[in-house]
Amino acid sequence: MERFNFIFVVAGFMFFALSFVIMGVLPIAQYSGVDVVTMDTLTTNIPYQFQELARDYPEAFQKAFGTSEPTPAAFMDAIETGRKAYIAEACWHCHTQQIRRIDPNDGTEVGHDVSRWASDTHQESQADEYHNAMNYPHLFGTRRVGPDLIRESGRHSNDWQVAHLWNPRETSPYSVMPPYPWFFDDDAGMMPNKRGLGLVTYLQWLGSWYTQFAPSTYKDLPVLPVDESWYPPYVPPKEQPADEGNDPYGGEEDPY
């Protein structure tokens, strides 16, 4: 009996070692030669939307990044702040960052990922889109309550993104996304703070590597029945209580 116990113990250790090699060592070895784009390289290509933020929100931009110019250093600060806000606010719970080819045909049918989120490129997400410091770890998401965002850059203007953060139903009447007034320094949604500017920068960076972006077009689509009862009723945003200090959470200034 003791001999069998010894065999089971040894077999257990061997299976553990085998699983460690297969699930840990081999993936590391497989991707050890993959070139990962560093932040210094990423920030050499500044999307035009970041330049527009500096021009359209000069006071907020200066306050957030300590400069009025859309420099690489300011851009790095902005997208890192925006990614932290994206994670902290659990945006990845409702938004994915992966365009999948899940249909058996050519991916252009109505309702499929490629036709919905990549009608301009007709291409699902590629591995090299994630080989950069901003996708370590990746943010593929868990479910798709809202749209996929991996190709969000240029689909909407900066002003649209700002208005959507202030009150999503001002831009998308049936949105279930909550408003984010703590991304603003005023009571009218006109003065985004550093986190607000950073999140807009991050969203406009996603997909900016497709420099010849063309907005999605919807032509010759079938007419689908629409029933207003499918959507939740419109509820005006509640008035937010007066801020006590600069941090809406209470406590330190930086919640991250």
User: What confidence tens digit (pLDDT) does each residue in 160-201 have?
Assistant: 999 999 999 999 888 999 999 999 998 888 899 999 999 999
Q: Is residue 5 part of a domain?
A: no
The structure tokens listed for 145 are: 């309550």
Lowest mean pLDDT among 7-11, 75-79, 165-169, 229-233: 229-233
Q: Is residue 27 part of a domain?
A: no
Q: Is residue 174 part of a domain?
A: yes
User: What confidence tens digit (pLDDT) does each residue in 68-127 have?
Assistant: 999 999 999 999 999 999 999 999 999 999 988 765 555 455 557 787 777 777 788 888
Look over the chain and give the mean of its residue pLDDT values, rounded to a whole number: 82
Higher-confidence residue: 195 or 137?
A: 195
CA atoms within 13 A on the CB side of 59: 6
Q: Is residue 172 part of a domain?
A: yes
Identify whether 70 is preceded by a cis peptide bond (ω within 30 of 0). no
Q: Is residue 21 part of a domain?
A: no
Average pLDDT over residues 201-212: 84
Owning domain of residue 149:
38-218+226-230
Three-class HEC string of the chain: CHHHHHHHHHHHHHHHHHHHHHHHHHHHHHHCCCCCECHHHHCCCCCHHHHHHHHHCHHHHHHHHCCCCCCHHHHHHHHHHHHHHHHHCCHHHCCCCCCCCCCCCCCCCCCCHHHHHCCCCCCCCCHHHHCEHHHCCCCCCCCCCCCCCCCCCCCCCHHHHHHHHHCHHHHCCCCCCCCCHHHECCCCCCCECHHHHHHHHHHHHCCCCCCCCCCCCCCCCCCCCCCHHHCCCCCCCCCCCCCCCCCCCCCCCCCC
For the chain, the first-to-last Cα distance in angstroms comes to 55
Q: Is residue 205 part of a domain?
A: yes
Cα–Cα distance, 169 to 163 (Å, whole number)? 9
In this predicted structure, what is the pLDDT of residue 179?
94
The single residue listed with the structure tokens 């008035």 is 239
| Whether pLDDT at 230 is above 60 | no
What's the total number of domains in the chain?
1
Backbone angles phi, psi at 8, to 5 degrees: -65, -40
Q: Is residue 179 part of a domain?
A: yes
Q: Is residue 167 part of a domain?
A: yes
The single residue listed with the structure tokens 């500044």 is 46
Cα–Cα distance, 150 to 157 (Å, whole number)? 16
CATH number at residue 42: 1.10.760.10
The single residue listed with the structure tokens 């085998």 is 18
